[in-house]
Structure 1
Amino acid sequence: MGELTPAEIGARARYFRERRGLDQAVVAGLVGIDKSHLSRLESGKRKWHITRRGFLETLAEVLGCAVSDLTGQPYAAVGRAGTAALAVLPPVSRVLADTTLDDVPDLPARPVAQLARLAAEANAASADARYGAAGPDLARLLLELHVQAVRGQGSGVRRAALRALVEACIVAVGAARTLGNLDLAVLAADRGQAAAARLEDPALSGFAAMSAAVVLTRANAHYRAERVLTTALNALERADPGAADTAPAEAAGMLHLTCAQRAAKSGDADTAATHYAEAHALAARTGERSTLHFDFGPSNAGAWELSGQIELGRGAEHAEQFARRPPPLFVSADRKAAWLSDLARGHAQGFRDVQALHHLDLADAAAPRRVRHDPIVRALVDSLDARGRCRTEQRLLDSLKARVRAG
């Protein structure tokens, strides 16, 4: 699917509103904007200057559709890397639809140690947003891990296969979510959670739950997201950040960050602050860690809080504070790109558009597949272009526009 213009996105919003039989005043009130603003959005007379993910998710929820229905995801692939990334998804979907944790085809599978190594390598590539590199063999990997988890010789082999399957499902979730296939992301998240549950490993279940909750929130499945987070956090309530194995505390911290982000998107600043405080306290004890490539520590806790403050409309102040600090110590390119994109969003909230443009450029250099498939980034580039504050950097702005359109 190609790039949608603001007028086309507005037309889609109008279509879903009218299909539900809602008038503009009702939708505007539920979303938290005035009717005239919504009218301009629907008519294409106003660019979609969206810097808050919560706004886009709330609008989709009110209209009874998915965010991807409004934004046109998955976007068309341009170039070898983009085509390779999108090509990962259909085979993965077929494998997950054709297997369960109890019933698999009678097929040969490679040794589980080899499969576990391949899952770890795929996760490392995914953490750097190299989805094409992560997944040319992801479907086969998932299939063989299912086979070993069900038919493997001995409980040790089956447990090792389940553990690697959780990691491979996390890879599938990340690729599908970023590339705009939320249905597949939810399916992969469910399978990863089920595999983790059979291992009775609270830390692994916590990481799988965090991955699932992010996808469920994007899909506006808020009840399930809340249940998943609550259950996982309860299982990790006694996680000791000072223990030799910090994985349970890392998982708990990531779950608190996810809860905080959900609260911030809904405008609940107090609940968000409570969860951010819990995450910061855990991070101060664990230090910088990266179990399963989930960066957790003081750097990531701070970066997630920046993202939450943007959702609460306080991004400008926090982006300025972050810009004066040393760069965070991120292991993965994906997290680095997310932090730089959030710095750009925060600067844009404060009308520091040149700073926003430069941070978007750095984010794109860090993880182009992640950045170019993000509808918020695309909307932000449109906003920077329309506001006309980057004319001294017109060449850079034009370059970034072309890169984002290329996908």
Structure 2
Amino acid sequence: MTEPAEIGLRVRTIRRRRGLSLDTAAGLAGISKPYLSMLERGERRFERRGLLEDLASALGCAVIDLTGEPYLPGDRAGAEAMATLPPISVALFDATLADVPDVPARPIEELTSLAQAANAASAESRYSLAGRDLGALLTELHVHAVTGDSDTQRAALAALTEACFVAAGNARNLGNYDLSVHAARRGEDAARRLGDPALTAFAAMTSTSSLSRMGARHRAQQVATTGLAAIEPHADPTSALPAAAEAAGMLHLSSAQMAAKDHNGDRARDHLREAADLAERTGERNELQFSFGPANVRAWSMSIAVELGEGADLAERITGTDGFDAHLVTADRRAALHFDLARGFAQAEGARDIESVRHLDIADRIAPQRIRHDPVAREVVAQLDARARRRAWELDSLKHRLGVG
């Protein structure tokens, strides 16, 4: 299993092969020469995703060239989850919205139900269950979308979009970014063909997330901006069915995170305020498992604060509130919040490492298939281990579970 210490070594190897000095590479990445040197030596770690993306861009390589993803699975559930990705890839390349294989397809009602069940499993970070037979499901939905009557085609396009959300999310969280982007784009195509504004905006959100994780930040920002412009006329948070407002809110959250990665705190906070305003009026919602509402805005604000280097202060304020994660209804979002709290406390330079360990342990127990495949989670564990003054079984357990050291 690739250990996170290798990220710094990969940075140094690629930098030298590119013929770049420490000064030049650091300048291109927007960091100091001493900081880059510490990253290469493993004395500092990558607790910010934006830092990984900035360095990949500076070195002219992909993020996965630095992280070594996808990782070999460390347990049976991880192996089963990884095994679901090849059939998904085959299905998306073998069928298009213009041409499909000559295969039988189950009734559209059954396939719609299966797509919804897969999405629910993915939201619980149960990727092995969500991805089981997802390749066949995608193929059959393509068949109905191309060959069915008008009503069947519309139902198939809606279910296909949702199934693509699952495929994109699973591939992204398991480290296969190319497949994630491909699945997300197919979902965008299906949603646009259906002509549903809210579904199209949710599809844009999925593409934005996939592109951003890959490090294609410029394209991700374009997709988010275009998606926001298209959905905002429909985004009425007081509607009885405010799906469009939820989708707009999610695009604002994604835009805020990308602005934070670009070190633009003012723009990040502007988008965060827009999302918070929408969430205040929609209340807690969960259209298509996106979990939009005040609780999720608070969770995203934690991730954004980490990217801005302000994670420690916000983590302190969030955890000082009783039931701060009570309204996050899916395992994916609860785990994401606790993971970002761990990253935030880790930014306190050792003063709050006990809290960082605790929240990372909670995140892993909630959603192990998500956390154990995340390169940043491994980096945080390695950072905590390097700073530990004495051995602690909680940290040793995390190292074992995440395959660190």
Distance 1:29 1:291 in 2: 42
Name the SS of the counterpart of 1:22 in structure 2: coil
2:403 alignment partner, SS class: helix
Mapping 1:264-283, distance limit 5 Å:
264-283=260-279
Length, aligned pairs only: 399
Q: CA separation in 1, counterparts of 2:165 and 2:16?
A: 37
Which amino acid in the other structure matches residue 120 of structure 2? A
What corresponds to 2:399 in structure 1? 401
Q: Deviations over 1:126-179 (max 9, x none)?
A: 001100001120000000000110011x11100100000000000000110001
State the match for 2:383 in structure 1. 383
Select 1:38's aligned residue among 36, 39, 45: 36
Matching residue of 1:315: 311
What code does the residue aligned with 2:112 have? A
Query: Whole-Å Cα distance in 2 between the matches of residues 20 and 219 of structure 1?
Result: 21
Matching residue's letter, 1:142: L
Please report how far the alpha carbon of residue 220 of structure 1 lies from its aligned counterpart in structure 2 after TM superposition: 2.4
| Structure 2 match to 1:185 | 180
Task: Single out whichever of 82-91 and 393-402 deviates more from structure 2.
Answer: 393-402
Residue of structure 2 aligned with 1:90, choices 86, 89, 92: 86
Match of 1:233 in 2: 228
Q: CA deviation at 1:200?
A: 1.0
2:24 to 12, 23, 26: 26
> Equivalents in 2 of 1:74, 1:403: separation in Å?
16
Residues 51-92 of structure 1, C-alpha deviations (whole Å, 9 max, x = no match) = 211111111111122221111111111222011000011111
Which region of structure 1 is more displaced relative to structure 2, 229-238 or 104-113? 229-238
Map of 1:205 onto structure 2 = 200
Letter paired with 2:270: T
Q: Does the Cα contact within 8 Å between 2:4 and 2:67 map onto a contact in 1?
A: no
Match of 2:113 among 114, 117, 120: 117
Mapped to 2, the partners of 1:264 and 1:58 lie a distance apart of 12
Pair 1:346-2:327 in alignment? no
Q: Please say if residues 287 and 298 of structure 1, whose CA atoms lie closer than 8 Å, have aligned partners that are also in contact.
A: yes
- Aligned equivalent of 2:324, options 323, 327, 331: 327
Contact 1:66 1:219 in 2 (8 A): yes
Structure 2: runs of 5 or more not aligned: none
2:162 corresponds in structure 1 to 167
AA in 2 matched with 1:402: H
The unaligned stretches of length 5 or more in structure 1 are: none
Once residues 16 and 161 of structure 1 are traced to their aligned partners in structure 2, the CA distance between those partners, rounded to angstroms, is: 45
1:206–1:28 Cα change, 3 Å:
same
Deviation (angstroms), 1:4: 2.5
Give, in whole Å, the separation in 2 of the partners of 1:373 and 1:105.
Answer: 33
Partner of 2:3: 4
Give per-residue Cα distances to partners, 1:93-150, cap 9 Å, x unaligned: 1111111101001111000110000000000000011000011200000000001100
Code of the aligned partner of 2:127 = Y
Alignment of 1:285-304 (within 5 A): 285-304=281-300
CA distance change for structure 1 residues 377 and 148 in 2, over 3 Å: closer, same or farther?
Answer: same
Supply the distance in 2 between the matched residues of 1:162 and 1:59 (Cα, whole angstroms): 38
Return the offset for 1:5.
Answer: 4.8
| Sequence identity percentage | 55
Quote how far apart the aligned CAs of 1:23 are: 1.7
1:48 shift after superposition: 4.2
> Which runs of structure 1 show a deviation greater than 6 angstroms over 4 or more consecutive aligned residues?
none
Residues 317-373 of structure 1, C-alpha deviations (whole Å, 9 max, x = no match): 100000011223111101100000011111111230001100011101110011111
Superposition map of 1:368-379 within 5 A: 368-379=368-379
Q: Which amino acid aligns with 1:167?
A: E
Question: 1:146 — aligned with what?
Answer: 142
CA RMSD in angstroms comes to: 1.3
Asked if structure 2 preserves the Cα contact closer than 8 Å seen for 1:47 and 1:382, the reply is no
Structure 1 residue identity aligned to 2:362: L
8 A contact 1:202–1:232 mirrored in 2:
no
The residue type paired with residue 178 of structure 1 is N
When structure 1 is superposed on structure 2, of 59-68 and 272-281 the one drifting more is 59-68
CA distance in 2, matches of 1:226, 1:196: 19
> Which residue in 2 is equivalent to 1:218?
213
